[in-house]
A and B are shown apart, each in its own frame.
Chain A
Amino acid sequence: MEEFGLLMQGFAVALEPQNMLLMLVGVVLGVLIGVLPGLGGANGIAILLPLTFAMPPVSAIIMLSCIYWGALFGGAITSILFNIPGEPWSVATTFDGYPMAQQGKAAEALTAAFTSSFVGAFVAIVMITFIAPVIAGFALRFGPPEFFAVMFLSFASFVGMSKGPALKTVCAMMLGFLLAAVGMDTVTGQLRMTFGSTEMIRGFDFLVAVIGLFGISEILCSIEDGLRFKGQRAKIDLKVVLRVWASLPRHWLLAMRSALIGCWMGITPAGATPASFMSYGVARRMSKNGASFGKGRIEGVIAPETAAHAAGTSALLPMLTLGVPGSPTAAVLLGGLIMWGLQPGPMLFTEQKDFVWGLIASMYLGNIAGLLVVLVAVPWFAAILRVPFSIIAAIILVVCAIGAFTVSNAEFDITLMLIFGVIGYVLKKLDYPLAPLVLALVLGDRTEEAFRQSLLISEGSLGVFFSNWLVSTIMAAGFALLLWPLISWLRGLLPGLPARRVRPA
């Protein structure tokens, strides 16, 4: 029970008054970010990251991860009250949440959503508490080939598991790798792909890319529909909360199943959004009255919310133990670790015990704080969406510009942010996934480093990636995932098989 002692030490760190305050600030900011269109977990944290350089790393990560929890909670508010998913992972929540609100059961839907979010997160945190040290201990034996293999596996799983066209996933990912390589090569000091421009020598900072791809592009997409917010009103009182809580234990099986789906999808970099859809789909299929889903069933709120929050939380597991983030937001947090001077990966668990366990303890506390904040303050957060979009949009654009500038005090970065915004708008509308692009941009340098070090060990032979059972297994799993779309495509070509792949419109 060494973990238990370390966890208690972590609680001591997280319970310091300063950290408690940051936790609360983080949760409130996070809910705000989750409610506002154009600001999400990933770019909200990207904007605030430069402001945390002066803090101790553990305080900084507590605040930023609490923003993430807050954003996960906040997405449900707009889905249920306004039928507008504040975050992509709350799309599935609108299916039954909004009908419930229309029937005057908004408070019930919100309470169920928040509570099941909390349950999902809680399951994921318990899992992280006990599994993370084991994985980290195992990964201590990894050399460069194994690390490359893990990165290969996580990128391959994007190709194999994404619902969109596989080739587009590859395009987006490769673009991310190329952007990561621009600038000075850290090994030889040579300039790469700068094409004579001095601005390019610094390379592309992924924070700037995230702010543009997720922030600016979201504003552009929202304005297309000529955004008018029309929402239901809701006030949660204690009676409703207690009544819903009393009815929730009936759905424990559903909640557990959704939490497990979420944990699995969060560890593999599929992410919270597919997790919420999958969990909703499974819940509908396994329910006795599946036909009434979409008309305001409480199960239709519980399933996606539990899974999304479990996935969002467990995305931090591979980030902490292997240095491979499971979601764009985890990728931004990983970028934060590097900036605060911490080396992500299994060594964190041995060298930065206070940091790791402080973070894990703050996950427990931050989610409790989040639950309380959203239950109490729902009407105020919902009131924000009654501010006209013209004002909100302008302020978000200003905030994004400031965020892009403060990353490295460069005015050119604001221009880059705008370019990334337009690129993101086009790619999003064409069904190119943005998450692999961001992950490749964050992990590009370290993937390349692992690749080059491996080749140095083997003196240029690619056989090093199959030199022992461990690395071979990981690589084989990666290839299996990578070839999966190809196999299903080939099967579709065979005559007599009706499994022809349908192109998404």
Chain B
Amino acid sequence: MSMERGLRTGAVEIGTSLAFALAGAAAIWDSRRIGAGWGAEGPQSGTFPFWIGLFLVAASIGTLVQAVRAREESGLFVTWDQLRLVASVLVPTTIFVAAIPITGIYLASAALVAWFMHRLGGFGWGRSVAAGLATALVTFLVFEIWFLVALPKGPIETALGY
């Protein structure tokens, strides 16, 4: 047994199978609402999702039972140290995604690259920011100019006339 601490696999297994069951139940409920039987023009809209939802609930209950039984002997899903590393990627990425509608994708990308290089890669701010801006510029040239694909833009691009 290792002495490392973290989130136990059993707990995550149980949580995941419950989430699956919930999704199945939601599908059953919604399909019943719109009709899951035989209508004027054949099978109603809810028929297929209703049965799929039923199968999903059944399979996830089976997984749940197995997970509960094996709970004691389950190992670690992720150690706290690992989770911290994952968060160091996931949190900035979430902020990046949230920022895109406000700042546009170019500025957000530049900031993401700079942040990753500085915090995770240990580069100085000068080089990190330069690399971030270079990424944004190359992306802009490739998509807006070369492929003529419009990506989300923010106030800076608008001020520059795009």
Contacts and interface: CB of A to CB of B under 8 A. Distances in A.
Query: Which has the most chain B C-beta neighbours within 10 Å: A174, A191, A394, A432?
Result: A394
B41 to A, nearest CB: 7
Given A174-B24, A181-B52, A223 B88 contact: yes
Interface in A321-350: none
Contacts of B143: 402
Contacts of A417: 97
A171 B12 CA distance: 15
A50 to B, nearest CB: 8
Interface string B53-86: 1011001101100100010000101100010011
A456 interface: yes
A422 B41 CA distance: 40
Contacts of A195: 26, 30
B52 A178 contact: yes
A390 B63 CA distance: 37
B78 A429 contact: yes
Nearest to A159: B59
B97 A414 contact: yes
Interface string B93-117: 1101100110001000100110111
Interface residues of A, number: 60
10 contacts: A188-B44, A192-B45, A390-B123, A391-B121, A401-B109, A405-B100, A417-B97, A430-B9, A455-B42, A460-B42
A360 B42 CA distance: 40
Contact of A414 (B30, B44, B100): B100
Nearest to A391: B117
Nearest to A457: B42
B137 interface: no
Nearest to B20: A171
> Which secondary structure dominates chain A's binding surface?
helix
A170 B75 contact: no
Contact of B139 (A220, A224, A391, A402): A402
Nearest to B59: A170
Interface in B110-151: 112-113, 115-117, 119-123, 131, 135, 139, 143, 147, 149-151
Contact of B105 (A51, A175, A388, A405): A405
A171 B63 contact: yes
A427 B12 CA distance: 10
Interface in A382-396: 388-391, 393-395
A391 B75 CA distance: 32
A224 B97 contact: no
B66 A178 contact: no
Contacts of B23: 175, 178
A401 B45 contact: no
Given A193-B49, A391-B121, A503-B70, A171 B59 contact: yes
Contacts of B105: 398, 401-402, 405
